[in-house]
Amino acid sequence: MSPSSNPTPTIPALATLPRHPYIDAAGQVAPNLQGCIGVYAIFDAAEVLQYIGYSRDIRLSLQQHLVRCPNECVSYAVVSIDRPDRPWLQAIQAQWIAEVGAIPIGNAQERARWEQAIDVRPLMSAAEAEALATADPLQQPKLLKQVARRVEADILKQLHQRSLRETLVFNPKLKESGRLDLK
């Protein structure tokens, strides 16, 4: 669908779109959507809508959401367009929210969790938090990086148990600040 091909294109109802498994049979996340522009809706195992987003690279966005909210990312629906058109993408997003009658939790109270890099500080063990609190300021980045690596390993283990086979690369520069996000 392209907004430029029709002066008033029809927005497909979210309920009419096919649901795709988040991790396909080959163990990958939406390989055919790399570099695609569009709007997507993410559903959990109970088919409850969790988040509606739009992106200039749907595949990368879906991967980001998967590492941030692995338990909530079970299936998705998508509409792609040929060229970037933020007002059109926002119109689709708004219509889908109106269609379901409520703002999804990932677009409301859990927005930061869905859209921001993972902050590993709340995920520290008591021993890690104590070590960080008492560490010399020059040692703190090293300790945060160790915690980030542990959290990263936990996330990747969980995703591999769900049959993810592709390699996800986290941004190494963010780890020293105690954050995780894909590169």
- The residue out of 115, 145, 167 marking a domain boundary is 115
107 and 162, same domain (yes or no): no
Q: Which of 87, 115, 143 is the last residue of a domain?
A: 115
Domain holding 144, by residue range, is: 118-180
Q: Which of 85, 115, 145 is the last residue of a domain?
A: 115
Q: What is the pLDDT of residues 117-171, one digit of tens each?
A: 999 999 999 999 999 999 999 999 999 999 999 999 999 999 999 999 999 999 9
CATH code, 85? 3.40.1440.10
At 118, list the tokens. Answer: 């993972």
129 and 97 in a common domain: no
Instruction: Please tell me whether residues 71 and 127 are part of one structural domain.
Output: no
pLDDT given at position 10:
86
Q: Which of 23, 46, 47, 179 is nearest to 116 (CA)?
A: 179
Residues 6+ apart with CB under 8 A from 148: 120, 170, 174, 175, 176, 178, 179, 180
Q: How far is CA 18 from CA 35, 72, 96, 129, 163, in A?
A: 20, 18, 14, 45, 21
Residue 44 sits in the same domain as residue 59: yes
Residues in Cβ contact with 147 at an 8 Å cutoff, skipping those fewer than 6 apart:
120, 121, 123, 124, 128, 132, 178
Supply the pLDDT for residue 8: 54
Q: What is the pLDDT of residue 52?
A: 98
**Are 143 and 73 found together in one domain?**
no
| pLDDT over threshold 80, residue 4 | no
Residue 181's φ and ψ, nearest 5 degrees, are -155, 155
173 and 84 share a domain?
A: no
| Predicted confidence (pLDDT) per residue in 30-79, tens digit | 999 999 999 999 999 999 999 999 999 999 999 999 999 999 999 999 99
Task: Assess whether 137 and 54 both reside in one domain.
Answer: no
71 and 150 inside one domain: no
Section 3-15 average pLDDT: 71
Number of domains in the chain: 2
- Structural Rg of the chain based on CA atoms: 18
148 & 80 share domain: no
126 and 109 belong to one structural domain: no
Give the confidence band of 6 by pLDDT, cuts at 50, 70, 90: very low
Q: Are residues 15 and 64 in the same domain?
A: yes
- Residues 87, 68, single domain; the answer is yes
